Structure 1
Amino acid sequence: MGINTYQEPVAYLRSDSPVCRAQGFDAHSRIRVGLGDRAVIATLNIVDPPLLAPDRVGLSEAAWRALGGADGDPAQLSHPEPLESFSQVRGKVYGHSYSRSGLQMVIADITAGRYSELEMAAFVTACAGSALSLDETIALTEAMVDAGQRLHWPSAVVVDKHCVGGLPGNRTTPIVVAIAAAAGLTIPKTSSRAITSPSGTADTMAMLAPVDLELPRMRQVVEREGGCVVWGGAMGLSPADDLLIRVERPLDFDSEGQLAASIISKKLAAGSNHLLIDMPVGPTAKVRSAHAADTLARRLHGVGEALGLNVRVTRTDGSQPVGRGIGPALEAWDLLAVLQNQAGAPTDLRERALLLAGQLLEIGGKAGHGEGLPQARELLRNGSAWRKFEAICQAQGGLREPPRAAHTQEFTAGRDGRVQSIDNRRLARIAKLAGAPASPAAGIELQVHCGDRVERGQPLYRLHAQSPGELAYAAAYAGAHPETIQITED
């Protein structure tokens, strides 16, 4: 039918179709569509007669890709098998705990495409907040790993680095990967695309090199260069996580248990045994207080320990964005400036990346205690990190230049004073309204940070968009919220 429903398979029938009458199908029914030896569970939409003949079934792009075939092939429609595992979700809603076997059933059904968007939303909601115990989180993580492929590497030490997110910019991962791989560590980095932010690591890396690598190609890159930065969703590593992210994105929330399960399952599936987690803490970050950081860190350590993953959590400043760029292309320009040792490279991004890379070198046994940071700094200074990053990009398909937005607008200080605070969430929202990450060149170029002295009329940030409409849309919201960057008198 040429209809993009993102990743959700959808089927289309007329209400007077003989199949609808015979089977009792109605709008939003879940139906099994078979074509040859392939089948998919799809959500049914009912269409008016001119769009389809009575004996035709239409398919969304996602369903078409799953089934293959050609227009006019015979299809078999039927009710899917009863969804027994959903009783586990109902039980959780009414106050019962998930069993290990119950979560295995739920995740297996989600991975097989048996859950509708509504049913996955119910599962995500039932797990929200602190609803999952540590035992349930461990069981969920195991189930997510078991549902997909798991990589194994010849190196005894395989490291990874992850940020819990919630901080605009902060694109340290590609820099850390380059330094770690240049030091001789194995770091098979699989990253996510944006869930609730203007850019994820995979979105930013895609501005510089292909990230949609299949598993054999990813393995070749790591074996050749020691590291990679690729999109995990292309490889079937913890595939349930990518399906759940699809639902979490429009709901615009993460839960503590699912966040821990998502992080740990991806790292275990990628074959890592040592993990460094960057946890920014700040009033408008994802983790907003020391208490919340303590709780999440305990859960991450507990799940990692139970499943054989050595986890170190490093708390960092989450009070403001890191770097200048917010959005895929703008963040890519930032990390290039750092890796190439450009004079104007953002200092905060460089120093945070070096801090994390230094810790990773110590965790991986490449540096003694306290020696990781100077070693990381030297690998960056002498060009080893940049050469390794270039080699990784070439192995992934070629290094390319990020795009530039066609339309920009500056926002300036309304008074003399000092930057008191920056609202991370509001700044991220402005970047998303400008089109990020779907419009990769869109976003924000930040001109100031907390503590900077500014004069009336001085630029605070530049808004980037790929169309005049998106620019006007984001600018209207930004203009209505001048408190995004608070300026106080000295």
Structure 2
Amino acid sequence: MEEANNQQNRLSATRVGIDTYQESVAYMRDDCLICRAEGFGVQTRVEIRSGERSIIARLNVVESDAGMLSPGHIGLSKVAWERLALTDGREVNVSHPAWVNSLSYVRRKIFDQPLTREQFGAIVLDIQAGRYTDVHIASFLTACANRLDVDEVAHLTRAMVDVGTCLTWPDSGVVVDKHCIGGLPGNRTTPILVSIAAAAGLTMPKTSSRSITSPAGTADTMEVLTRVDLDMDRIRSVVQQEGACLAWGGNASLSPVDDILIRVEKAMDLDSEGQLVASVMSKKIAAGSTHILIDIPVGPTAKVRTRSSAEALKKVFEQVGQCLGVVVCPVITDGSQPIGRGIGPLFEAEDVLAVLQNQDDAPADLRDRGVMLAGLILEMAGRSEVGHGQSLARELLTSGAAWHKFKAICEAQGGLRKLPRVRYRRRLEAPVSGSVKAIDNRKLASLAKLAGAPNAKAAGVRLLVKVGDKVAKGNALLELCAETKGELRYAESYLKQVPDMIQLQ
């Protein structure tokens, strides 16, 4: 009987050419007999099987007279098609998926009950297997938002590591890494730090996420300069050759569930403390890191706004590190204003190159911050005595060793790229004379994103002043850049609504 039903529930697969990123989506006609017989409707979860492969997909129902699908066909999004490894016209079986038991643990967490390591493991495994819709993932993230204790954060971190691939570096001993909590536009210290650390002979397999809520992440900025979508074998090769890499982690299957969670977090504009720590730590541990530096910028418009909040986050990182057997060194830094001049992939890349090449006009705040953090890494790893790390880091930078190492890393990843050109720009001028009192990090980041960053690499903001600078009426405060006229106008409309983005007194 079951075999007969499976034969009845077969449809010819059609690739509809819709990119739904990491969520598998299926499309069926509203007059499909299978839809009616099985009770499938909009947003229903369906299991689709082809040979030994199967996926859980979210169903969209299309009108029969819309011409999108022929009778007897099922449409599949790009990722669903790839996961099933289909060819056009091949038949697939469509059915109700088995009940997902781990959803009961999500409900348990919704009612603020603690979860065990095994329960987190079941949830993460089901997310990885595609058994959760975006609604289920959003429910899980919301239930965990600022409601995880240290043990739960450690459990979630282990679960996220366990479902992915882990890198090992048997001949390296100490493996260093770094992460910034974010919320500080232009704070692109990672390429500088990695170059200095690798020039000092340290192993630093740096994999980064793309932007979640900022105008650019390290991977977005590095993609302007070189190839970052490296697979696991290429990452190993680059690190073995140069001691470090600067890659996007999405192709390496390092804590792959983290990428799924980040996609939903981005849509929700949610970045809770427990999930943040688990996200960072799972990626670092999966990369084989033994010593991890955490940069926590604090400022009135940064992601972490108060010293007390920073101290609490610092403590969580330290405690989770102890639970997981790695050395974690969180450092609280100044987040009162943007770092460097550039906000957006191209402009942050220009700042990084200026610092590494020791250009006379390189942004001093980015250079000093990069040297400070690199010095801490050198001290953590035993390359320098405590208190002398910064001097060694500065020497490696000013001597050109860091720049030569950066070029070598980029060449190993695919070569240095030619920088794109800005197409459209508009300057914001000071309405009165005075001095710069404050710069709003969040509003400036929003402006850069409205201009098209990070998807448009040559979009964003060039900041032309710092807090304390004196300006005359008519002096340029910033330069707004975009790749299209429409995006430039869109960002300009926001700029007119927030005249206090740069406060003068």
Equivalent residue of 1:107, what SS?
A: helix
Counterpart of 1:16 in structure 2 is: 31
Task: State which of 77, 80, 83 in structure 1 corresponds to 2:97.
Answer: 80
CA distance in 2: counterparts of 1:480 and 1:19, whole angstroms:
52
List aligned pairs for 1:43-192, cutoff 5 A. Answer: 43-49=58-64, 50-128=67-145, 130-153=146-169, 154-192=171-209
Say if 2:432 is the partner of 1:398.
Answer: no
Partners of 1:6 and 1:215 lie apart in 2 by: 21
Secondary structure (helix, strand or coil) at the match of 1:207 reads helix
Tell me the SS of whatever aligns to 2:225.
coil
Q: Deviations over 1:442-464 (max 9, x none)?
A: 00000001111111111100001
| Alignment-derived partner of residue 357 in structure 2 | 340
Shift of residue 202 of structure 1?
0.4
Aligned to 1:419: 436
Corresponding residue pairs, total: 487
How far the C-alpha of 1:91 sits from its partner, in A, is: 1.1
Query: What is the SS of the residue equivalent to 1:440?
Result: coil
Runs of 5+ consecutive residues of structure 1 not aligned to the other structure: none
**Bigger CA drift: 64-73 or 257-266?**
64-73
Give the Å deviation of 1:402: 2.2
Please point out which of 314, 320, 336 is paired with 1:303: 320
* Structure 2 equivalent of residue 480 of structure 1: 497
Aligned to 1:240: 257
Deviations 1:315-364 (A, max 9, x none): 11100000000001110011001000111111100000000001101111
> Within the alignment, does 1:198 sit opposite 2:198 as a pair?
no
Q: Decide which of 21, 36, 53 is 2:51's aligned counterpart.
A: 36
Alignment of 1:259-278 (within 5 A): 259-278=276-295
CA apart distance, 1:151: 1.0
Q: Any idea what the Cα deviations from partners look like across 1:92-124, whole Å, max 9, x if unmatched?
A: 111211122110100001111111011101111
State the 1:190 CA deviation: 0.7
Q: Which amino acid aligns with 1:27?
A: V
Where 2:49 maps in the other structure, the secondary structure is strand
What is the rounded CA distance, in whole Å, between the counterparts of 2:44 and 2:176 in structure 1? Answer: 45
User: What is the letter of the counterpart of residue 348 of structure 2?
Assistant: E
Alignment of 1:26 onto 2:56? no
Q: Report % sequence identity.
A: 54
Q: Secondary structure at the match of 1:303?
A: helix
Q: Is the 8 A contact 1:447 1:460 kept in 2?
A: yes
Letter in 1 for 2:338: P
1:16 to partner: Cα distance: 1.5
Which whole-Å deviations, capped at 9, do the CAs of 1:145-190 have from their partners, x for residues lacking one?
1111111102110000110111101100001000000000000001
TM-superposition CA deviations, 1:422-443 (whole Å, max 9, x none): 1000000000000001111100
The code of the aligned residue for 1:343 comes to: D
AA aligned opposite 2:390 = L
Deviation at 1:268, TM superposition (A): 0.4
Quick check: 1:281–1:287 contact (8 Å CA) kept in 2? yes
Letter in 1 for 2:63: D
TM-score by length of 1: 0.98
CA distance in 2, matches of 1:6, 1:424: 29
Structure 1 residue 231: Cα displacement: 0.6
- What is the Cα deviation at residue 234 of structure 1? 0.9
1:5 corresponds in structure 2 to 20
TM-score (norm. length: structure 2): 0.95
What amino acid is the match of 1:368?
Answer: E
Amino acid at match of 2:164: G
Q: Alpha-carbon deviation of 1:294?
A: 1.0
Q: Does 1:388 align with 2:398?
A: no
Q: Which moved more, 1:246-255 or 1:464-473?
A: 246-255
* Partners of 2:485 and 2:44 in 1: CA distance: 41
Q: Which runs of 5+ in 2 are unaligned?
A: 1-15
User: What is the deviation of 1:78?
Assistant: 1.1
Which letter does structure 2 place at the counterpart of 1:146?
D
Q: 1:81 deviation in Å?
A: 1.4
Instruction: Return the letter of the residue paired with 1:132.
Output: L
SS of 1:217's equivalent in the other structure is: helix
Paired residue secondary structure (2:311): helix
1:358–1:373 CA contact under 8 A, matched in 2: yes
Using the TM superposition, give the Cα deviation of residue 48 of structure 1 relative to its aligned residue in structure 2, in angstroms: 0.9
Describe the superposition over 1:372-424 as per-residue Cα deviations: whole angstroms up to 9, x where unpaired.
11111111111100000000000001111221220000001111111111100
Question: What letter corresponds to residue 18 of structure 2 in structure 1?
Answer: I
Query: How much does 1:291 deviate?
Result: 1.0
Q: Which runs of 4+ in 1 moved over 2 A?
A: none
* In 1, Cα distance between equivalents of 2:165 and 2:20: 26
Q: Is the CA contact 2:112–2:147 (under 8 Å) kept in the aligned structure 1?
A: no
CA contact under 8 A between 1:18 and 1:54: conserved in structure 2?
Answer: no
